[in-house]
Each structure stands twice: as structure tokens, then as C-alpha cells.
Amino acid sequence: MLLMEKVALLNRQNETFALAMIIESKGSTPQHVGKMIVYRDGTIEGTVGGGLAEYYIIEESVKAIKDGKSKIVEYKLNRHAKDGIQMSCGGTLRVFIEVYKSRPELVLCGAGHLGQALAKLADFLEIPYCIVDDRVGYCTQDRFPNATNLYVNEDIEKALLAAGLNENSYVVIVTKDGDDIVLKTALQFPIAYVGMVASKRKVITIFEKLKSEGVSQERLEQVHSPIGLNIGSETTQEIAVSIIGEIIKVSKESKESKLLKVKQLNR
């Protein structure tokens, strides 16, 4: 696979990484043209010439990923020059480090009719999503051709753990019969949103079960259930619209809250 094909694949899979590209090379340098993918842990694919310069570029790429900001770095490959690095090539190298950040992602726990309706709506809105299920026959590429990933395991808890939930995860629980397991697992992570399709009676039953297993009331209060905006939804497609609408509303409110905190810190 060509390097830029890998970049496109990683971006489609909603991964976080950096692409370091030589944009200017003067004089004697190990390489005049080069590209390198750098992952969060500092592992790489490709090269920008090797040696000490590449080591520094990897370091700067990892920092850029943590900061979430692209940047340009420049190195004098001359141990005798002011601000030069310990190399004897003598030339200069400028490198653009482009950061690709993972975007908010729907984690659709349940590959049934509602999960498929949510996926189709996410496709239309260009929202990344992955599918989690315990049924091999349902969680397939044919049914969800545009999913970033498919996580299927007969133990649905293991399937969800493989999804790597984080602060960008919007979890929708629409499983066949594993809602309690999925909800308990999801609440262990700092997710942006979790909603569960369930009747009021079922919600009460699941909440009482999870409380008895040590889940706090504070964590349970994060759960959106009944899920979705109250728009009088009846059909599967209408329910999907109400759920996506609620997620969009929550994500917008979250962005506004973060901006407000930044403004307060900068005062």
C-alpha cells in the first residue's frame, strides 16, 4: 500500500496521527523528498531521511498530535552552525507536520434495524461511526459498508472494549438483549454521550441492576433514556432522526461549553 493510500485509510478509519512531509531542502541533506506517518506512540511508516533529524521530527510530530495543531519545523543539519543539530550534512530541512485528529464518532451498539437506520442517516450527514454487536451475521461489511470499524464478538462486552471508547465517543445502545452489559461497560469511560433505547420500566430495571453492581447514581444520570428528541417518533426511521438530532444538540452544547471555559481561562 502506498503511503498516501494509508493516510486516506487512517483518516477514513477516524484515527489520530500526523503526516510529516519535507517541503524544502537546501544543500546537503539525507533526503530531499519524503513523507512519514507518525502515530501517537511515536511509531512510524515511511521516512524523511533517517538519522537525528528524523528523530527530532518524530518528537515534534508526537507533540503536535498531543496539542492537536499542525506546524512547520526547520533544522540546520550542521553541528557547527548556530542552532544547528549534531549532524554533518550541512544543509537545511523544512518539514510540514500535518495533524489528523479523530472526529466525534457514533458507536452504534446493535446492528439490527434501528442500528442500520442510524448508520444510513450518519452516512448522509457524513458522521463517522462504528458498529458493535455479538452477532456475526448482522455485524457485516455488506450491511454497514461505510462503518469505520466493525467490532463483533459473542461476548458483547469484549466487542465494545475493542472499540476504544474516549471523549469523542457518542454511544447509542440498541442491542438485542445486552443493554445492561453495554451500558455498564460504556460508563467506565469518559464518553461524550450515551443513550439507550428502552421503555421506562426497562430503564428502571437496568438502573437498579447496575446500582447493585456498584455503578453510581451520578454515572447513571449521564444516560439519555428515553433516547432522542421528543418529536413524536413512531417508525424506525423517525426514531433514528430523533436520536441523531439529540446527539447533534448535545455535541453543539458541548462545544459551546468548552469555548466558554477557554474564554474564562483567558480572562
SS3 for 177-213, per residue? CCHHHHHHHHCCCCCCEEEECCCHHHHHHHHHHHHHC
In this prediction, residue 45 carries a pLDDT of 96
| Boundary of a domain, candidates 50, 73, 100 | 100
Any domain includes 238: yes
**Percent of the chain residues topping a pLDDT of 90:** 75
Any domain includes 226: yes
Domain housing 155: 105-259
Report whether 247 contacts 258 (CB < 8 A).
Answer: no
Any domain includes 266: no
How far CA 240 is from CA of 122, 197, 246, in Å, comes to: 10, 11, 10
Residue 265 has pLDDT above 50, yes or no: no
**Among candidate residues 98, 113, 32, 35, the one with its CA nearest the CA of residue 65:** 98
Any domain includes 265: no
Q: What are phi and psi of 60, to 5 degrees?
A: -65, -35
In a shared domain, residues 123 and 184: yes
Beta pairing class for 169-173 and 105-109: parallel
- Interatomic CA distance for residues 170 and 108, integer angstroms: 8
Residue 144 has pLDDT above 80, yes or no: yes
Any domain includes 222: yes
- Interatomic CA distance for residues 18 and 61, integer angstroms: 6
| Boundary of a domain, candidates 66, 100, 134 | 100
Express each pLDDT in 212-250 by its tens digit. Answer: 999 999 999 999 998 999 999 999 999 999 999 999 999
Q: What share of the chain is helix, strand, coil (3-state, %, to 5)?
A: 40, 20, 40
Any domain includes 267: no
| Boundary of a domain, candidates 68, 100, 132 | 100
In this prediction, residue 262 carries a pLDDT of 42
In a shared domain, residues 95 and 120: no
The pLDDT-based confidence of 254 (bands split at 50, 70, 90) is: confident
Any domain includes 58: yes
Express each pLDDT in 159-203 by its tens digit. Answer: 999 999 998 999 999 999 999 999 999 999 999 999 999 999 999
Residue 84 has pLDDT above 80, yes or no: no
Residue 153 has pLDDT above 60, yes or no: yes
In a shared domain, residues 71 and 149: no
In a shared domain, residues 90 and 146: no
**Among candidate residues 137, 128, 131, 57, the one with its CA nearest the CA of residue 97:** 57
In a shared domain, residues 120 and 194: yes
In a shared domain, residues 95 and 109: no
In this prediction, residue 53 carries a pLDDT of 87
Q: Model-level pTM greater than 0.75? A: no
For the chain, what is the domain count?
2
